[in-house]
Structures are given as structure tokens and as C-alpha cells.
Amino acid sequence: MRIVITGGAGFIGSHLCDRFNREGHEVVAIDNLITGSLANIQHLMDAVGFQFINHDVSKYISVDGSVDVVMHFASPASPKSYTEFAIQTLKVGGLGTHNALGLAKANRSAFVLASTSEVYGDPEVHPQPETYRGNVSCTGPRAMYDEAKRYAEAMTMSYHRVHNIDTRIVRIFNSYGQRMALDDGRVVPNFVGQALRGEPLTVYGDGSQTRSFCYVSDLIAGIVRLIGAQENGPVNIGNPDEISILDFAKKINELTDNPAGIVHQPLPPDDPTRRCPDITRARRLLDWTPQVDLDEGMEKTIAWFRGEIRD
């Protein structure tokens, strides 16, 4: 297959590039590098069947030759980066999704949208099934990301219904692993960076808010299975093992032997209080379930960050 991956130099995008390159597919990675990094795909630059295009997909996307799958994974994704790049986030979710769908339509190719658990906002239903319609503020500090992704889902379903595009929508819950940017502000790079520097971990609020962390290899396996399944609507992919941020901080300090402890900082506004995927649909449709538990995944991730900090 020939697969176009927008956001191909990002955290998840680059792991998708690796996976499809390893399986012998042709990959065209497109990225404008505002939050992605060439370092994530440097090892692929000379690989057979791999091409990188430095381009902002919010502008018309031009790819020579036929395409079998378009995967739209371009977007700032951490609260820090979508706050910094608010307009770009809205544009890549809106205009970028439109352009990526246009590329899929022109090629009659399949289309995969990277969506997010943020479409559920600060959820009132727990855990969150795909049928839950969410609790999102359209004017709040996370609106640029949440609403862009909700719009992207609406656009994707419309291309499916109007143009009969074979769509997939993956609602990605908190994920972690190698190649997360150390400075992207998310809890995993923040805590691991602080722990490895021997600093106290910055827990926002009292740390009672929860998240459920999925290791990147499990996420990629779920996405690949979804491509092979017959489901055009949204599917949650995430690890249902829920943990409070305070317990997560303690775990990171333990795994890194960091004696510096924890400091509390103000909770950002609209920070979701609980988040956990209901993965019944993924289990049934994809026969998929996460294999890597938090300790194992974090040990690998910490080892990788150790190398990053040393370099």
C-alpha cells in the first residue's frame, strides 16, 4: 500500500511511519514541524519507500501518484502546544481535515482520522463509551483542540455519507512512549524530565484527577487493526487502567529513585477530572486489548528520556 501520514514527524505519526515502513509499505510523511521533529524520522530518511514532505496540511495537499490510505494525524496535541498554536490547531482540525479528506476522495483511498478523548470534554459519564456525546466548552481554554477534533469527526462522517469514503475515526486516549517531546508540557514528559533532573514533580491541583495511560506500541497495534476492520464510526483506543495524577507522580518518583518528592501547583481551568476509555467496541471489533502495563511501559519510556536528557 501507499500510505500518506500527516503529522508523520510527530510522536504517534512517526511510530506509524516506522510500522508501515517495516511492513514494506510506501509511506509519504507530511509535517510542517511546528510540534513534530525531524529527529523522529531521521532514521527513515534514506529508507526505501519513504518520503518526507515539509508542508502545512492546512493548505492544499499535493501528493504525486496514487494513494491507498490517508492518515490525518497532524495537530498540536498537548494542552501547552495547542494553547501556543491555537489558531493552527483549529486550522489543522478544520481546513487540514478537509484537505486530507479531499486527497482521499481524489484517490478513492481509505481515510483515518486521529481523534481524541478530548471530544468527551470533562466527562459526566465514566468510563467513556463512543456513544457518550461529551461535555465540552466551545469557548473554554481547550476549545481550540476539542472543537477542532469534533468538527473533524463531523467532516469525516460527512465525507463517508456524501462521498462514500471508507473512513476510520480513532479516539485516542492519553498515550505515552518514546519520542514524546520533553518540553510539550504533558504530564509524562514533565514528570519524567523533572524526576531525571532530581527535581520535585509538579502535580496540578490535589492530583485527584485521573488519566488512563496507553503505551505507544499498544496504540499503534490498535490503529493498525482498526484500518483492517469494517467500522466507519469512532472507536476508542486507550488503556482502561485508570490512575490518579498524584499516584502517577509517586510511581514516577519510585521508578526513578527521585528523592525530591512532589510540589502542588494550581490546576489549569477546565482540566478534566476523570478520563478512562470504555474499550468494549475495540475489544469486540478488533479483538484488541492493551498488552503493556504502566510499570513496563514507563520503564521503557524513562530509559528513552534518560538518553534524550544526556544528549
Q: Cell 514516577 identifies what position? A: 252
To ligand UDP, the closest distance from the beta carbon of 99 in angstroms equals 25
* Interaction between residue 75 and ligand UDP (CB under 6 A): no
* Interaction between residue 72 and ligand UDP (CB under 6 A): no
* Interaction between residue 84 and ligand UDP (CB under 6 A): no
Question: What is the sign, positive or negative, of the torsion defined by CA atoms of 120, 109, 230, 21?
Answer: negative
Cell numbers for 77, please give them: 496535541
Q: Supply angle C-alpha 106, 112, 113, rounded to 5.
A: 110
To ligand UDP, the closest distance from the beta carbon of 295 in angstroms equals 18
Q: Are 171 and 117 in contact (CB under 8 A)?
A: yes
Cβ neighbour number for residue 251 with a 10 Å cutoff: 15
Burial grade of 181 (CB within 10 A; 0-12, 13-18, 19 or more): buried
* Interaction between residue 211 and ligand UDP (CB under 6 A): yes
Question: What is the sign, positive or negative, of the torsion defined by CA atoms of 1, 71, 44, 303?
Answer: negative
Residues 269-308 that bind ligand UDP (CB under 6 A): 271
Residues 257-276 that bind ligand UDP (CB under 6 A): 267-268, 271
Residues 158-197 that bind ligand UDP (CB under 6 A): 174, 185-187, 190
* Interaction between residue 136 and ligand UDP (CB under 6 A): no
* Interaction between residue 204 and ligand UDP (CB under 6 A): yes
Element (H, E) at 42: none
* Interaction between residue 256 and ligand UDP (CB under 6 A): no
* Interaction between residue 132 and ligand UDP (CB under 6 A): no
To ligand UDP, the closest distance from the beta carbon of 209 in angstroms equals 4
* Interaction between residue 51 and ligand UDP (CB under 6 A): no
* Interaction between residue 83 and ligand UDP (CB under 6 A): no
Q: Considering the candidates 145, 159, 176, 215, report the single residue annotated as catalytic.
A: 145
Integer Cα distance of 72 and 78 in angstroms = 17
122-125, long-range: CB within 8 Å, 24+ apart, which pairs? 122/270, 122/271, 122/272, 122/273, 123/272, 123/274, 123/275
Residue closer to ligand UDP by CB (options 49, 141) is 141
Is residue 159 annotated as a catalytic residue, yes or no?
no
Residue closer to ligand UDP by CB (options 68, 271) is 271
Q: In sequence order, which residues have a C-beta less than 8 Å from that of residue 145 and are 6 or more positions away?
A: 75, 76, 77, 79, 82, 89, 93, 116, 118
* Interaction between residue 149 and ligand UDP (CB under 6 A): no
Positions touching ligand UDP (CB under 6 A) are 78-79, 174, 185-187, 190, 202-204, 209, 211, 245, 267-268, 271
* Residues belonging to the active site: 145
